[in-house]
């Protein structure tokens, strides 16, 4: 049975591909999906993502809505009207929403079943500190109104249960990998024009969660190392580090990333272990395994299940020790080719979409059984 789903994203369709992009695309193979997304006025760090098979409709927010209450109220008024038009026209079976920031834009007393896909701890973002109270209230109301709540990590599920209750609504659907998203035939390799002899690469959003301090420490410690950072920049608290061996490559089309990564000697995930990060199931670790390179990451509980693939550190000294071993003994992976292929095949976005479909079917069956039992009691 194909469901009609209005899928409301909290990021531009042309932003660096994330969970909402992949799930919307894969769910559209077995459902009729209409994607509504916020148009980003600043297009500098955006790419052009694939639009095949997906119905896309951007919506426009007046700028500075975070700073001025009157602009926020205007955005809410306009977008509720737009949402009503879409719902009456499309008549969805489900409305899928990816952030409590969007909940106020929905019409009140929504009759359609609501699905909340929680991919981040929205209250832990530094940018939301000034509106934490209102966001917390929106989050509780969203969970209370939802038919189902999907979470990208166990830690995120546990946090939401503690804050909003309704444990029966939750299912953990981890992030995944998109095997068709990469092509190895576009950009030049980054093995040229090096200052140092070896390159550590980072692929993903460059934001306040990156540990720039530890990056400075390792390039100061090892004169033969460079760090290349690839991805969009947003909400930096500290200035981007100025060092000749820390290079920003900009935003790269998703299908061109693999070729750029081919010039890296190892892949790095240098996060600060904040309250926000502890709930993250990083898409980049799935992609890093596909890239078939040595992987080094800061350690936290949610990603310990990647131990067979990743060299973990807990502080700068541990990272320095790992890199010293690489430089002495060679940049060697922890995992075999067969382990890599097995991991990739069982952790695709297609697998996750299938998991979601099974949960939806099971939830409907349980609701029907409960209704029948209630009618006969």
Q: Provide the CATH number for the domain around residue 206.
A: 3.40.50.2000
Mean pLDDT across the stretch 157-186? 87
Distance, in Å, from the CA atom of 145 to the CA atom of 247, rounded to the nearest integer, reads: 45
Residue 186 is assigned to a structural domain of this protein: no
- On whether both 328 and 255 belong to a single domain, the answer is yes
Residue 69 is assigned to a structural domain of this protein: yes
Q: What is the pLDDT of residue 377?
A: 33
Instruction: Answer whether 115's CB lies under 8 Å from 173's CB.
Output: no
Distance, in Å, from the CA atom of 180 to the CA atom of 53, rounded to the nearest integer, reads: 15
Residue 88 is assigned to a structural domain of this protein: yes
Angle at 38 (CA atoms; ends 37, 44), nearest 5 degrees: 115
Q: How confident is the model at residue 369 (pLDDT cuts 50, 70, 90)?
A: low
Residue 187 is assigned to a structural domain of this protein: no
- On whether both 238 and 95 belong to a single domain, the answer is no
pLDDT tens track for 69-122: 899 899 999 999 989 999 999 999 999 999 998 998 998 888 899 999 999 999
- On whether both 162 and 59 belong to a single domain, the answer is yes
Residue 171 is assigned to a structural domain of this protein: yes
Instruction: Answer whether 220's CB lies under 8 Å from 200's CB.
Output: no
Residue-number span of the structural domain to which 263 is assigned = 198-340
Q: What is the pLDDT of residue 187?
A: 40
Instruction: Answer whether 190's CB lies under 8 Å from 200's CB.
Output: no
- On whether both 208 and 165 belong to a single domain, the answer is no
Distance, in Å, from the CA atom of 123 to the CA atom of 133, rounded to the nearest integer, reads: 9
- On whether both 35 and 138 belong to a single domain, the answer is yes
Mean pLDDT across the stretch 154-160? 97
Q: How confident is the model at residue 370 (pLDDT cuts 50, 70, 90)?
A: low
Q: What is the pLDDT of residue 195?
A: 67
- Sheet of 4-8: strands edge to edge? 55-59, 32-38, 4-8, 94-97, 113-118, 148-151, 170-172
- On whether both 85 and 49 belong to a single domain, the answer is yes
Percent of the chain with pLDDT over 90: 65
- On whether both 27 and 150 belong to a single domain, the answer is yes
> What's the chain's Rg over C-alpha atoms?
22
- On whether both 169 and 23 belong to a single domain, the answer is yes
- On whether both 145 and 260 belong to a single domain, the answer is no
pLDDT tens track for 268-289: 999 999 999 999 999 999 999 9
Dihedral of alpha carbons 346, 347, 350, 353, sign: positive
- On whether both 296 and 353 belong to a single domain, the answer is no
Contact residues for 299 (Cβ-Cβ < 8 A; gap 6+): 273, 312, 313, 314
Residue 184 is assigned to a structural domain of this protein: no
- On whether both 251 and 358 belong to a single domain, the answer is no
- On whether both 73 and 138 belong to a single domain, the answer is yes
Q: Residue 376 half-sphere exposure, CB side, CA atoms within 13 Å?
A: 5
**What mean pLDDT, rounded, does the chain reach?**
88
Q: State pTM to two decimals.
A: 0.86
Mean pLDDT across the stretch 5-31? 91
**Number of domain units in the chain:** 2
Residue 191 is assigned to a structural domain of this protein: no
Q: Which residue has the higher pLDDT, 235 or 306?
A: 306
Residue 192 is assigned to a structural domain of this protein: no
Q: Of 2-11, 121-130, 344-353, give the lowest mean pLDDT range.
A: 121-130
């Amino acid at each position: 049975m194909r469901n009609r789903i209005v899928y409301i994203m909290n990021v531009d369709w042309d932003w660096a591909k994330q969970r909402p992009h992949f799930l919307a695309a894969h769910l559209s193979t077995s459902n009729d999906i209409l994607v509504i997304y916020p148009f980003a006025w600043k297009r500098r760090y955006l790419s052009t993502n694939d639009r095949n098979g997906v119905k896309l409709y951007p919506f426009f927010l007046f700028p500075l809505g975070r700073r001025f209450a009157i602009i926020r109220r205007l955005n809410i008024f306009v977008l509720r009207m737009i949402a009503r038009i879409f719902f009456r026209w499309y008549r969805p079976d489900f409305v899928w929403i990816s952030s409590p920031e969007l909940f106020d834009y929905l019409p009140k007393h929504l009759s359609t079943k609501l699905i909340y896909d929680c991919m981040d701890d929205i209250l832990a973002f530094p940018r939301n500190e000034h509106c934490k109270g209102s966001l917390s209230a929106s989050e509780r109301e969203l969970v209370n109104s939802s038919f189902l709540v999907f979470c990208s990590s166990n830690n995120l599920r546990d946090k939401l249960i503690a804050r909003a209750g309704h444990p029966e609504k939750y299912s953990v659907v981890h992030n995944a990998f998109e095997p068709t998203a990469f092509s190895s035939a576009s950009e030049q390799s980054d093995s040229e024009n090096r200052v140092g002899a070896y390159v550590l690469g980072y692929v993903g959003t460059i934001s306040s969660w990156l540990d720039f301090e530890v990056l400075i420490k390792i390039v100061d410690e090892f004169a033969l190392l460079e760090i290349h950072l690839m991805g969009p920049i947003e909400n930096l608290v500290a200035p981007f580090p100025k060092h000749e061996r820390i290079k920003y490559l900009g935003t790269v089309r998703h299908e061109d990333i693999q070729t750029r990564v081919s010039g890296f000697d190892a892949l790095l995930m240098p996060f600060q272990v904040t309250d926000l990060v502890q709930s993250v199931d990083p898409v980049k670790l799935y992609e890093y395994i596909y890239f078939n390179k040595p992987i080094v990451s800061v350690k936290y509980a949610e990603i310990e299940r990647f131990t067979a693939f990743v060299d973990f550190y807990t502080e700068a000294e541990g990272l320095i020790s790992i890199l010293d071993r690489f430089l002495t003994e060679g940049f060697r992976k922890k995992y075999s080719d067969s382990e890599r292929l097995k991991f990739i095949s069982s952790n695709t976005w297609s697998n996750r979409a299938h998991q979601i479909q099974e949960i939806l079917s099971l939830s409907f069956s349980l609701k029907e059984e409960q209704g029948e039992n209630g009618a006969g009691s």
